[in-house]
Amino acid sequence: MHNDGNVVPLRKATTDQATHSPLARLPVILLQVRDKAAQQLRHGLQELFDNADDTLFEMADRARNDVEQNIFFEAMRDLRLKRKNIERGFLEQFFEAFVGLTQYDPTQNTLPHPLVYEDTAPRTDDMERSVAIETMVGRVLKRDGFALDQLTARLNALLGESFDDQHNPLGPALLCEFFLQAGRNLGVEIKVKLILLKLFERYVLANTDRLYAEANQLLSATGVLPDLKPPPARRASDQAAASVRDEANASEHSQTDEGVQELLQHVRGSVAPTLEPSVAAQPITTRDLLRLLSHLQQYVPALSAAPDDFDLRNQLEQLLTRVSVKSGKSRVVGGADEDVINLIAMVFECILDDRNLPDSLKTLIARLQIPMLKVAVLDKSFFSRSSHPARRLLNEIADAALGWGDCDGDGRDSLYLRIEQVVQRLLTDFVDDPAIFSELLADFLAFTSDERRRSELLEQRLRDAEEGRAKTELARQRVEQVLNQALLGKVLPPAVLTFVQDAWSKVLLLTCLKHGDQCAEWQADVQTMQQLIWSVQRHDDPQASLRLLALVPGLLKSLRDGLSSSAFDPFATSEFFSELETLHVRLLENAEGAEPPAMVEVSQQIVLRLADEGTPPAAVRLPHDDAGLRQVEQLRLGSWVAFEEDEEHTLRCKLAAIIEATGKYVFVDRTGMKVLEHSRTSLALAFRRGAARALDDTLLFDRALESVLGNLRRLNRGK
């Protein structure tokens, strides 16, 4: 068989490709550097995508509306479908960049095939993305720039080139560019792209110190600039930030962690049957343990309402005793499984002692102990993964219950009924498939997000109303100030004094609210009031009568215009204008010996009050370092505070607004309805005397787990 002219033998083609490929000209040590780095980068990308789902799910949970929530859900779906293509595209560009090192053109200071991010994104999106990348690159250069400079110098020495850090395939600028290029076909919004860039920084760029250290070590060991001074070690703070991911994946919370197992050694043996010591103990399998837990789980709904009545370890021990007696062999729980049982039991003990959790809901949450134990036994990532659906479900229930008060009435309250449904569903349906937690979590989040949207709408309306009230209060204070400046010490006819206090003060208030106290309208209204006061007083100046005659027409017009703009009833003020005319006539006649009108002296401060307002409490001044004031300063919008109304009733409410102008702190219940209002001082006094306490709104399970591990460490140190 002859060879066709268009057919080339496979062996020959392979040889020719190897001979002419730029890859063949790369030194072997550079290929080793590339492959070692590619392995680490691939691992970082895998971690990025493993955690992207949880991050986007959390963002969807916090979404302000259904449209935004749908954006994140669609992004999760798109990312799952295109994950492999993005990983492959990233590494392909990474390999091509190493090939490009042999074709670098120093006269152009560019690579022969520069990477251009092709995107049809709006200009503002481009700017946001550019700012994010510049920030990420800047952080890497600040942290590991010295090691990168050494690596670039070694690559230049090895290849005989003179490119800079920007064209180093391991530099942060090109790594970001590879990632953007690989994900250019993702049909996601800019906000999702920015989230992915943050994840790229957390899981890939956070480990550039190791990337550069290994590359420099390989090149130095083969004689490429071996005399370069090694870069300084990362600061402790940088190392801590870079190791967040490792701590999350290999946390001390994991039941497989040797440190935790060591902490739990002194409590082992608490789940053991009481049989003759001579009987040899035989550990049960994890599957058998799950069967025993499922058996106990069926009896949880029938337990007493008091959560302390159920001791899981004691119940499990009794079951093991019966199994041991029946089989004639001492059956015990294996060491690793017993550690999980003890840790879960202690975590729930801590949860049930938590003052932040309403007592009326502790019974429901206590019934989750066995389902949580089963999922911890089944899923080895339960303690190390804070975003685990089971942990999130418990945390979300606790978070929703933070504002639930005993007075809400558990029999009719929708939140209580929904939590009860979740608990009952787990006790009834959960056998060995942890997927039920994800399903219940999604349903519960949908329920709470609806409630949260309604409450946030009410809270926003409340904030707007309170801001309006505060603006009115400031305007009223300004009007009071002007009235007192103009009236105090003056002797005036009673009708004029009443008119200024009751009618013209409202004109001034409306002008101040509309235009402020620096505008021409305000100055004109104040001047009209001053002219009115002058016009009804007796003056010794012989020219006063002439001035009054000249002033009256304009004064009356200004008064009528002001009252009209403030929507005053003209008939209601007609009597005043009649009296004012009489006063002016008498004053003009007084110059010829007529009897002067009756007058009153304004000797007390004028205080304007709204119809729904009482007398303000006496002001109390507290020192700047007062303990109560420090607690008030730590509050933020959304903080939950418990107010002790009496020995039996506690009001749990959320800080919805801080009105800076008036110093008011406005609190709402979990539905968004206003329930309480405090001044900064009165709130500080409530904290100081123990009538108020801030509630800890951090994640309940995580808080309890940290507390348990802290207690175990202190116990071990004391031994």
| 3-state helix/strand/coil string of 512-575 | HHHHCCCCHHHHHHHHHHHHHHHHCCCCCCCCHHHHHHHHHHHHHHHHHHHHHHCCCCHHHHHH
Name the range with the highest mean pLDDT among 7-21, 246-260, 317-331, 573-587.
573-587
Please give the share of the chain, as a percent, with pLDDT higher than 90.
15
Torsion of CA 526, 527, 529, 534, to 10 degrees: 150
pLDDT single digits (tens) 576-618? 888 888 888 887 776 455 556 678 888 888 888 654 454 455 5
pLDDT single digits (tens) 231-290? 766 554 444 444 443 433 333 333 335 556 677 766 666 665 555 555 566 788 888 888
CA terminus-to-terminus distance, the chain: 86
Chain centroid offset of residue 238 CA: 23
Residue 206, pLDDT > 50, answer: yes
The dihedral through the CA atoms of 345, 349, 350, 354 has a sign that is positive
pLDDT single digits (tens) 360-388? 788 888 889 999 999 999 887 788 787 88
> Which of residues 417 and 12 earns the better pLDDT score?
417
Residues 336 and 331: their CA atoms lie apart, in Å, by 15
pLDDT single digits (tens) 519-568? 899 999 989 998 888 888 887 777 888 888 888 889 888 888 888 877 77
pLDDT at position 322 is 81
Q: What is the residue extent of each domain of the chain?
A: 20-249, 258-433, 489-601, 627-698
Nearest alpha-carbon partner for 711 in 310, 349, 392: 349
pLDDT at position 226 is 86
User: pLDDT-derived band of residue 406, with 50, 70 and 90 as boundaries?
Assistant: low
pLDDT at position 176 is 93
Nearest alpha-carbon partner for 317 in 378, 268, 350: 268
pLDDT at position 1 is 42
Whether CATH 2.30.30.30 fits 627-698: yes
Query: Residue type at 640?
Result: W
Nearest alpha-carbon partner for 588 in 530, 553, 536: 536
pLDDT single digits (tens) 23-47? 446 788 899 999 999 999 999 998 8
Share the mean pLDDT of the chain. Answer: 79
Q: Indicate the burial class of 686 (C-beta count within 10 angstroms; 0-12, 13-18, 19 or more).
A: buried
Q: Among 123-127, 187-191, 318-322, 397-401, which stretch is predicted with the lowest mean pLDDT?
A: 123-127
Residues with Cβ within 8 Å of 49's Cβ and at least 6 positions away in sequence, in order, are 79, 83, 86, 87
